[in-house]
A and B are shown apart, each in its own frame.
Chain A
């Protein structure tokens, strides 16, 4: 249809012109939104709650995105107007993006409404017990029962409406006939059903809007965002026309093979194919969905304090999850990490308070090193037991889990807590000379220079290549070249920012008189609170909000993720880990020492667990004998959500990162929207199964 329009056939011109006009309209809308956000007419984020005068980050981001979006829409409209071939593909993408925007806006109304309704359901269920207790307030309660029931009905109807809308929008089941003139044929009963459902749907959307208007009056759920019904209109304005246009644009029968191939890869298929390449597709989808869901449900979720709290909560488990991912990829797993954590934390604390066997009472850094060495031994015990007995790792580590736990239980008799403050007056402090900072900054600069030297030329060449082949490919290469150019620019800016910051550190400490000492708490070095980045008055000064509990462990975690990701994907060791878990016999036949790989992975898990134990103890310098109980399963859950196969051979470190983030977001988010924290484990259970099903589906899609 659109192709006919491009070729100037008369009968197709109506729809073609409509799509062109739509692209133009969306462009204008984009500009309007950018303008409105930039000048505070459309308050977002912080400003929506407490009207502050200054523009916040979310508004800046939205402004920039809508400007880019508007530019793309207008360029597409111009392309369609001048009948460029390439604009067909652009229009597919622009309509796709518009559908997404519309859907997001609709969801931002639907999610708070849905949440409030379901919380209300909970209240109504509690009413019966309330009534029997309190006869006096009966009148008031019956009133709210009535209102509650109405709300429930509205909610159910609204659900039906959404369902109907979906049925209406899914493509007709009848295959399109090949003969000209018989396209768009839908079998009569189906048409009938669709018509009814459409009417129902439209009617029920009205109910939904009305219902949403009732909900905000219910007290108690102040953290959930107001539904702001006026957004429904905006959402529909984007969603419906764009969806219609997207479906129309997809029906193309091209003359040139090239064009057909380009258009056959619709945005939907493209994204699916890209996702299927990643082991953690389920985790990516889950991460985005949960992030969007909580962001839309409550304004508190993206507050620095919430983000910092969920990052800090999962940072230590995330570090362990990296190791468990390695182990799981090589086909084994470890139930003893919780106990190893307990033993390491206890040893660390014990070495500082009661003394180590040979060394006596030692300072924090030797104590940490010794404790991590103990973790190393425990990991090696696991590994040696496994490869020498060939018992499944489930059994081996179940045994060592119980055995290692006994160490802490025996060492701290009577379930007391071993506290640093019971043995020392003050927390340990270290004086760091400014020379150290200078050296660190110089090392940092060297790393940045090396990264730039390796990465920038590759990016530059990629962008140039995409640019030079753009015409051979019917202009489709242009967007790729632009994207790559943008990526290049972003990386460049990021590197520059780091360089400027390091230079500031260098100049600050360099100008100080020689040998100046900065006092730092030892424990802060491991896992302290980060209060600010850079010094006051620096170009790169970033004050972290007072209520945001940003811990240094987060930084260490991200550094570990990067390092272990590179090792897994870009070294021979990583390759042999995948082979060991994927097909042990084949790996051995190709000369991989699978026993050594497994032993190494057990040791890696234990070392990372040891490091995590130091973080945990540094954050709260006290150890109880049950420290780390139950962690093993949580960490395995994070890893599995991240896409690692329990059977081995598949998984990724980034997946474990996402898995841990999902964990943290749920933990914090559920509390913020007022759902009982008792439901947390249930939710996690559902998420695990959903994520694994998604991962399997995506992998299955690739297998076909």
Chain B
């Protein structure tokens, strides 16, 4: 049951992560890891620092202090591009799509397919249209026209496009930041289905939410953070849904679980 020893098996291992915005200390020494083919629910109240933690992992923010290992190698992730090279795809909570651009252009943003004419490279618009429609259909989103602007779509549709994109391009790790907050019950179920499908394809998933109900069913493990600290790491077998929900709200580990966990949430 020693998590630290499992780390050689981990896909991602983030150790002692600090992130300060000027004098605001948002992350204060968090250890976080994701094993291969594992779905981790990253939980915590609003403002706990969940989004910041994964923005550090995906190179959107730079680290203040700490070390990240990916695939057993120490990595320096300086930009979202680096993270993508490592096989990490992210659906950010607040940074998903560009509303004034078409579905196809959003889908391929940052990695557009091109063809070459002499020294020049032009967008392969045909491929952009057909592949995006096909890829989104694969994850159950049927769009009529890939030229439609994203701004015209409903919140749920937009979220689905963003998730479909991440699932299509994701190779090793899929990060979903509050993917279900704008979705209906049916759409939420669909997202949970993709999550499991991604795991079955061999990927790991970080599923961020402040609502345990959305993730309890699919997650293998829960990491709870509380105002920049890690409260604890719990296997699904160890805790009930209600206990996790209580921990998120109260920020305290219940009596029963303290037997197993030290102050930092590590096994005593």
Binding site for B on A (CB under 8 A): 450, 566, 570-572, 574-576, 578-579, 582-583, 585-593, 645, 649-650, 702-703
Contact = CB atoms under 8 A, between A and B. Distances in A.
Interface string B98-118: 111100010011111010010
Interface string B77-117: 00111001000001010111111110001001111101001
Given A572-B112, A583-B99, A703 B151 contact: yes
B100 A650 contact: yes
Interface string B144-168: 0000010110000000000000000
A575 B122 CA distance: 11
B256 interface: no
B110 A571 contact: no
Given A570-B123, A572-B114, A589-B58, A582 B80 contact: no
A583 B97 contact: yes
A589 B96 CA distance: 8
B121 interface: yes
A437 to B, nearest CB: 23
Given A576-B110, A590-B110, A593-B81, 14 more contacts: A566-B122, A570-B122, A571-B123, A572-B121, A578-B105, A579-B98, A585-B94, A587-B110, A588-B60, A588-B80, A589-B58, A590-B80, A592-B110, A702-B149
Contact of A578 (B84, B100, B117): B100
Contacts of A583: 95, 97-99
B98 A582 contact: yes
Contact of A591 (B96, B111, B114, B149): B111
B125 interface: yes
B109 A575 contact: yes
B232 to A, nearest CB: 29
Contacts of B151: 703
Interface of B: 58, 60, 79-81, 84, 90, 92, 94-101, 105, 108-112, 114, 117, 120-123, 125, 149, 151-152
Contacts of A649: 98-101
Nearest to B111: A591
Given A570-B125, A592-B110, A703-B151, A586 B79 contact: no
Contacts of B110: 576, 579, 587, 590-592
Contact of B95 (A450, A572, A575, A586): A586
B111 A586 contact: no
21 contacts: A570-B122, A571-B121, A571-B122, A575-B108, A575-B123, A576-B110, A578-B100, A578-B101, A579-B105, A579-B110, A582-B99, A582-B100, A583-B97, A585-B92, A589-B92, A590-B109, A590-B110, A590-B111, A591-B79, A591-B81, A591-B84
A591 B85 CA distance: 10
Contacts of A575: 101, 105, 108-109, 112, 123
Contacts of A570: 122-123, 125
A479 B112 CA distance: 35
Contacts of B92: 585-586, 589
Contacts of B111: 590-591
Contacts of A592: 109-110
A450, A576, A587 — most chain B CB neighbours (10 Å): A587
A585 B97 CA distance: 9
B135 to A, nearest CB: 15
A227 B121 CA distance: 55
Contacts of B114: 571-572
A493 to B, nearest CB: 24
Nearest to A279: B100
Given A572-B112, A576-B110, A587 B98 contact: yes
B205 to A, nearest CB: 18
B13 to A, nearest CB: 23
B62 to A, nearest CB: 12
Contacts of A450: 117
B109 A579 contact: yes
A572, A586, A650 — most chain B CB neighbours (10 Å): A586
B145 to A, nearest CB: 11
Nearest to A277: B147
A564 to B, nearest CB: 13
A300 B117 CA distance: 45
Given A588-B60, A591-B110, A582 B101 contact: yes
B90 A589 contact: yes
A570, A572, A589, A591 — most chain B CB neighbours (10 Å): A589
Contacts of B120: 571
A361 to B, nearest CB: 36
A242 B63 CA distance: 70
A586 B96 contact: yes
A576 B106 CA distance: 10
A591 B105 contact: no
Nearest to A648: B100
Contacts of A578: 98, 100-101, 105
Contacts of A576: 109-110
A167 to B, nearest CB: 34
A195 B98 CA distance: 53
Contacts of B121: 571-572
Nearest to B147: A277
A102 B158 CA distance: 46
Contacts of B80: 588-591
Nearest to B124: A570
B32 to A, nearest CB: 20
Given A578-B101, A582-B98, A587 B122 contact: no
A596 to B, nearest CB: 11
A672 B123 CA distance: 45
A45 to B, nearest CB: 41
B19 to A, nearest CB: 16
B98 A589 contact: no
A593 B79 contact: yes
A574 B108 CA distance: 13
Across chains A and B, which 10 residue pairs bring their CB atoms closest together, nearest first? A591-B81, A582-B98, A590-B110, A591-B110, A585-B95, A649-B100, A583-B98, A589-B95, A590-B109, A572-B112
A589 B111 CA distance: 12
Contacts of A587: 98, 109-110
